[in-house]
Chain A
Amino acid sequence: MTNLEWLLATTGAAAGTYVLRAAPFLWAPLRRAGQRYVRFLTYVSFAIAAGIVSKALTLDAGRLALGPEIYIKLIGLAVALGCYRWLRNIPLALFAGAGCAVAAKWLAGL
């Protein structure tokens, strides 16, 4: 694609995406729908957060990744959750979990 085609493609994609993002804020009937289905949207929000977690654990670039790396990720997650239960400090738990996973991957030579 030429530079001009890239400019047009990105501008088109940005415009379409913006409409999706902004329509519920700017169009009153959609705002009302958001209020009406608040419980449904709450469950959707929980499922999205959980889905992001399981996707990151089990998939790699769209493929199933159930090799030794998944155990390392689970170790990191368990350390973070344990740390959070113990200290109630999210940043500390985050760094402890990610740090443990990186250390485990390095030690395993993966």
Chain B
Amino acid sequence: MSGDITKGIKAGSSAAPTFVAIFIGVGIAAGVAGVPALAAVYSTLAVFAAPAQFAMFDVAVQEGVLLQVVSVAVLVNLRFFVMSLTLTNFFPHVPRSRLVFWAQFVSASSYLLTFFESRRQSSVDLFDFFRGVVIMTFLAALVGTVVGISIGAGLPALFAFGATLFLPIYFSLLLLGETKGRFELLAVLIGLLLTPPLELLLPGWGLFIAAIGAGAVIAVVER
């Protein structure tokens, strides 16, 4: 295993507790929605996007039809398009045959951790780093789903609370170290301030809309 994959695994291990906690939630939600255990594990393997999985289970509980379940999941996952678009800049020489497989594992964490690593201008192979993050976070997601299905709602609340804090704290630390210049700071402030109200107005879309809006406004101002 290359050293850069190991670096990615180390970076991913900081996000792993949050992944376990979130996917425990997926496992519990699947049980509540009456989703068969194997189908819940399959959803993590195949979709690997907790918000979309929650949305799918929610539509199913409301007796939505198959097409509704698929549509809501795909719409909730639109953000992956922007994330992959950004990642294309970091993997310019990686053969498409390899990207065909690894594209499946683009998530907010694998994308953002690779993005922040790219800014350090180190000699790290970013594709290997990305794969390391994926290995760690994907395993954490699978473990979380299986644990969630097994224990149901019996997880101690204090444990769940602590685990969910790892990802926001980790991203705060990265932002503290990596934000440079007034335009990047402005993007951070817009993201911080606009995401919660927009999420309340348009659940599942607020984060995406605030980020696209921030990028568009600052790109225009910068010109």
Contact = CB atoms under 8 A, between A and B. Distances in A.
Interface stretch (B73-81, B138-146, B147-155): B73-81
Interface in A28-73: 30-31, 33-35, 37-59, 62-64, 73
B88 A17 contact: no
A17 B190 contact: no
A85 B189 CA distance: 20
Counting contact residues on chain A (CB < 8 A from B), the size range is 35 or more
A35 B91 CA distance: 11
A43 B176 contact: no
Size category, B interface:
35 or more
A30 B164 CA distance: 34
B1 interface: no
A45 to B, nearest CB: 5
Interface of A: 1, 3, 5-14, 16-18, 20-26, 30-31, 33-35, 37-59, 62-64, 73, 76-77, 80-81, 84-85, 90-91, 93-94, 97-99, 101-102, 105-106
10 contacts: A17-B77, A17-B80, A43-B183, A44-B211, A49-B174, A49-B188, A52-B108, A54-B192, A54-B193, A55-B196
